[in-house]
A and B are shown apart, each in its own frame.
Chain A
């Protein structure tokens, strides 16, 4: 038996952890707990909430033996906690089951649809921050001037407009009436599968293959949904940029820089703007996640074969395997984005070191 003195901490031989390790461990534990909660929530939605998950699989007119058979096969005769453990095992190994409406394993389907959404969301966030940041800075610099009010109005409408309606109106005006953009889908129908799949991002794939016809067609198709999604994230980004910049512009170092005789441009972009970069990075990461939500409705309007459309199709026919997998993925993306912004903060902001 060890004596009590052995249990006393010995400072010199104790495992020395680097300074970043404690917060990282704490963060890791917190992420793990959130993930477990996420799984529990999806389990609750999928297995506990529906009146009869078996009827959802076999239909309402199945006879008793088939019903019992499926019940055992799905493990629904087991107690709830064993079901949960089985559910955990399946989800963590990426076994989401089979989607009824495509007949494929959900994991395979997701591999096809996620790149389409990532492409759309990425173009959208480039548009959203490309417009939102200058707008927000301008609104802060010219506070109370017409440009401030214009930006505020633009962002208010962006917050309030139903994006699916804006999409429909955009299709009428720019596709049906003016013919400036491509219609629904990712690419004109005769270009489907024209370029080899490498990244799944059609713009990148067609550029890699050097097939510029496909590239132009893809660009014409992505521009409208991306602009609309970008607008909704611009609303948020410009609003946040404005308030961050106002915060900085009222600081004393800005006055000092002005007194020193620096040009307005140097003060705004060289001094104040550099100090909001870290906060902006978080905002952009959050809006990137928010685009997933907008994508559900936008993809439905534009028949964009992405994650959102997959989710809504699954919802329509009550395909719980696919719905749960999608819900879980979205939750996962959000947890990861939160984690990334947290780390980014630590990394970019010298004060947190």
Chain B
């Protein structure tokens, strides 16, 4: 490393750590940097981040990493053991298992990502509205939340999928419908503490409308804890998605999906156990990584524990 780049690094560091940030952007970057420093102190969380980034990379680069097409059936080569040509063997239709697992990362991340994008804003809106308005709006919204919470998420998702019909998109809708309540609860709790703070009173006195206060002044404050909560629930979303796939109610064939792969591998379990072993390991890796990362995030925001 040259002296020049070292100096630039040092100035970037001081820009990130200076006591009084000059702009909103700098303040944002500072809080990210400090958060990263605290996260980096937790080796398990770093492992989680690295694994997640790796899986994201695999999903992104799937066509270059996979050795075969995930859909090409070569019936002559069906149920082969792992070999140089097929690293993890072939399935009952002669498709390359390694390639299907690689493409399966896309399916899983697609589900997890889409659920996060749906669930976060819905939970945030409902929770912040309920918490800020109070009264009967809060009573009704929170009662609905409690009713959804009184189901285990997999069973509620199962019921929704069976009513909507099995498909990948319906599975995503079902998982989203069953996992927003936890986030709404959290957002409401956060809002209750924000609602009575001075700056909210100040904005109200200045004549801001209720929606403006909720969207511009309350929700941004709830965002960090909601993000953590969404990350933590991604592990269980990945597991639920795989469970739905395993039951035949998630991604439909021929889409490569780890849970569905496991379910077909079940029929050949005794002779070809590795067919079932690999997709399961992939699910375990993703969900473990989300758990490690989420735990790290939580510890970071809650230094007491």
Which of the four size classes fits the interface of chain B? Answer: 35 or more
Instruction: Give Cα A254 to B156, complex, Å.
Output: 44
Chain B residues with CB under 8 A of A42: 159
Interface size on A, residues (CB 8 A): 49
Instruction: Give Cα A113 to B98, complex, Å.
Output: 39
Q: A54 on the interface (CB 8 Å rule)? A: no
Chain A residues with CB under 8 A of B158: 296, 311-312, 315, 323, 327
| B147 and A297 contact, CB distance less than 8 A | no
| A169 and B276 contact, CB distance less than 8 A | yes
Instruction: Give Cα A159 to B294, complex, Å.
Output: 13
Q: A45 on the interface (CB 8 Å rule)? A: yes
Instruction: Give Cα A50 to B153, complex, Å.
Output: 20
Looking across the interface, which residue of chain A has its beta carbon closest to that of B277?
Answer: A169
| A327 and B287 contact, CB distance less than 8 A | no
Instruction: Give Cα A169 to B292, complex, Å.
Output: 24
Chain A residues with CB under 8 A of B248: 316
| A292 and B284 contact, CB distance less than 8 A | no
B256-274 contacts to A (CB < 8 Å): 259, 262, 265-266, 269-270, 273
| A46 and B150 contact, CB distance less than 8 A | no
Instruction: Give Cα A49 to B239, complex, Å.
Output: 25
Interface core residue of A45, A162, A169, A315 (most chain B CB under 10 Å): A162
- A50-B163, A162-B280, A311-B155 known; A34-B150 Cβ under 8 A: yes
Chain A residues with CB under 8 A of B291: 156, 159-160
Instruction: Give Cα A41 to B270, complex, Å.
Output: 42
| B150 and A38 contact, CB distance less than 8 A | yes
| A37 and B147 contact, CB distance less than 8 A | yes
Q: Contacting chain B: which of A14-22, A197-205, A328-336?
A: A328-336
| A335 and B287 contact, CB distance less than 8 A | no
Instruction: Give Cα A166 to B259, complex, Å.
Output: 13
Contact with A along B228-242 (1 / 0, CB 8 A): 000000010001001
- Rounded to whole Å, the gap between the CB of B165 and the closest CB of chain A is 8
Q: A306 on the interface (CB 8 Å rule)? A: no
- Rounded to whole Å, the gap between the CB of A48 and the closest CB of chain B is 9
- Rounded to whole Å, the gap between the CB of B13 and the closest CB of chain A is 31
Chain A residues with CB under 8 A of B163: 45-46, 49-50, 320, 323
- A38-B150, A159-B235, A297-B246 known; A327-B143 Cβ under 8 A: no
Q: Within the complex, which residue of A161, A176, A316 is in contact with B284, where a contact is CB–CB below 8 Å? A: A161
Instruction: Give Cα A166 to B287, complex, Å.
Output: 14
Looking across the interface, which residue of chain A has its beta carbon closest to that of B236?
Answer: A159
- Rounded to whole Å, the gap between the CB of A33 and the closest CB of chain B is 6
Chain A residues with CB under 8 A of B276: 165, 168-169, 172
Q: Taking chain A's interface residues, is the majority helix, strand, or loop, or is none over half, making it mixed?
A: helix
| B162 and A292 contact, CB distance less than 8 A | no
Q: Within the complex, which residue of B154, B242, B288 is in contact with A293, where a contact is CB–CB below 8 Å? A: B154
Q: A340 on the interface (CB 8 Å rule)? A: no
Instruction: Give Cα A189 to B6, complex, Å.
Output: 74
Chain A residues with CB under 8 A of B152: 289-290, 292-293, 330, 334
| A176 and B270 contact, CB distance less than 8 A | yes
Chain B residues with CB under 8 A of A279: none
Instruction: Give Cα A208 to B62, complex, Å.
Output: 59
- Rounded to whole Å, the gap between the CB of B139 and the closest CB of chain A is 10
Q: A318 on the interface (CB 8 Å rule)? A: yes
Looking across the interface, which residue of chain A has its beta carbon closest to that of B291?
Answer: A160
Chain B residues with CB under 8 A of A215: none
| A335 and B150 contact, CB distance less than 8 A | yes
Chain A residues with CB under 8 A of B150: 34, 38, 331, 334-335, 338
Q: A171 on the interface (CB 8 Å rule)? A: yes
- A160-B235, A318-B162 known; A34-B147 Cβ under 8 A: yes
| A157 and B288 contact, CB distance less than 8 A | yes
Looking across the interface, which residue of chain B has its beta carbon closest to that of A291?
Answer: B152
Q: A164 on the interface (CB 8 Å rule)? A: yes
Contact with B along A128-164 (1 / 0, CB 8 A): 0000000000000000000000000000110111101
- Rounded to whole Å, the gap between the CB of B238 and the closest CB of chain A is 9
| A168 and B159 contact, CB distance less than 8 A | no
B132-168 contacts to A (CB < 8 Å): 143-144, 146-148, 150-156, 158-164
| B270 and A172 contact, CB distance less than 8 A | yes
- Rounded to whole Å, the gap between the CB of B177 and the closest CB of chain A is 10
- A156-B292, A320-B163 known; A296-B148 Cβ under 8 A: no
- Rounded to whole Å, the gap between the CB of B296 and the closest CB of chain A is 12
| A162 and B242 contact, CB distance less than 8 A | yes
Instruction: Give Cα A301 to B246, complex, Å.
Output: 10
Chain A residues with CB under 8 A of B305: 243
- Rounded to whole Å, the gap between the CB of A206 and the closest CB of chain B is 29
| B235 and A323 contact, CB distance less than 8 A | no
Chain A residues with CB under 8 A of B146: 34, 37
A171-229 contacts to B (CB < 8 Å): 171-172, 176
Interface core residue of B164, B273, B292, B295 (most chain A CB under 10 Å): B273
Instruction: Give Cα A296 to B262, complex, Å.
Output: 16
Q: B249 on the interface (CB 8 Å rule)? A: yes
- A37-B143, A37-B147, A293-B155 known; A165-B162 Cβ under 8 A: no
User: What 9 pairs between A and B have smallest CB-CB spacing?
Assistant: A165-B280, A293-B152, A37-B147, A160-B288, A49-B163, A160-B287, A327-B159, A315-B162, A334-B150
Q: What are 20 A-B residue pairs whose CB atoms fall within 8 Å in the complex?
A: A34-B143, A34-B146, A42-B159, A45-B163, A46-B163, A49-B163, A160-B239, A161-B284, A162-B239, A164-B262, A165-B283, A171-B269, A172-B269, A289-B152, A296-B154, A297-B154, A297-B247, A315-B161, A327-B151, A334-B151
Q: What is A's interface to B at a CB cutoff of 8 Å?
A: 33-34, 37-38, 41-42, 45-46, 49-50, 156-157, 159-162, 164-166, 168-169, 171-172, 176, 243, 289-290, 292-293, 296-297, 300-301, 311-312, 314-316, 318, 320, 323-324, 326-327, 330-331, 334-335, 338
New contact pairs (10) apart from A50-B164, A162-B287, A312-B158, CB-CB < 8 Å? A45-B163, A159-B291, A160-B287, A161-B287, A168-B262, A168-B269, A172-B273, A289-B152, A296-B154, A300-B247
